[in-house]
Amino acid sequence: MASPEKLKKYQKEKFESYKKINNLKINDNEAYIEIKVKDYRSIISDYSLEDNPVLKQEFIDVIERRASIIPLDYPLVLEIHNNNFSSEEKIIIRKLIKNHFTFISINKESELNRLKQKSAYLLLAGITMLIISLLIKKIEIMGIIFEILNILTWVGVWECTSLVLFDEDNIKEEIIKYKHLSKIRVVYNKEKIKN
């Protein structure tokens, strides 16, 4: 199972390698993700309604990609370089970023719960098929049915094991990642962008 400790160890090793290659800004034990944007519309999707803005996927991808190498030990700070934002736009951007990553982490937790339910059902179905096949094994006429039940037993047990061993870890890692991103602090730097 993926645990925050295992993920932290893996990220720390990756982070040390990344720090050697890239110039990463760390202040007061916080890791900074710096992004330069031209204006408010470069963050907000063109398909958004005015009263219901949505972040651009490219903007989200950049944050996720840069955050992926930062260990969980470091609180994240997103530093947006632009001095053209109004105070209302700054508030909207902060809220959208937090809501976006919080929403994803909640969805991933729901996905994990569904996966656990599905694996429990598959295991129960496999055990049930095994019991039925053992009960009808004594009857010679039921040979074909016994083989079919035996196959269904192994399919159910195998699928359950596959879900628990492989898919569950990936979803847990994503939950940890998105919860970390949902706590990102957004700051604005007054740096001008050169066109």
Q: Which mean pLDDT values do the consecutive 10-residue runs of the chain (195 residues) have?
A: 66 67 75 89 87 92 88 89 87 94 95 90 81 71 70 80 82 91 89 46
Question: Do residues 39 and 84 make contact, with C-beta atoms less than 8 angstroms apart?
Answer: yes
Task: Return the pLDDT at 195.
Answer: 40
Do 173 and 7 meet the contact criterion of CB atoms below 8 Å apart? Answer: yes
**Alpha-carbon dihedral angle through residues 23, 26, 30, 35, given to the nearest 10 degrees:** -40
E strand map for 21-118:
26-27, 30-36, 76-81
pLDDT at 48: 83
Q: How far apart (Å, rounded) are the C-alpha atoms in residues 68 and 15?
A: 9
Token pair 């596959």 in the structure block, residue: 162
Ordered strands of the 185-189 beta sheet: 26-27, 30-36, 76-81, 185-189
Q: How many residues does the chain have?
A: 195
Q: How many Cβ atoms from other residues are within 10 Å of residue 39's Cβ?
A: 12
Q: What is the pLDDT at residue 140?
A: 61
Q: What is the predicted pLDDT for the residue at 193?
A: 42
* pLDDT at res. 190: 61
Residue 137: the pLDDT is 67
Q: What is the pLDDT of residues 50-102, one digit of tens each?
A: 888 999 999 999 999 888 888 888 899 999 998 788 889 999 999 999 999 99
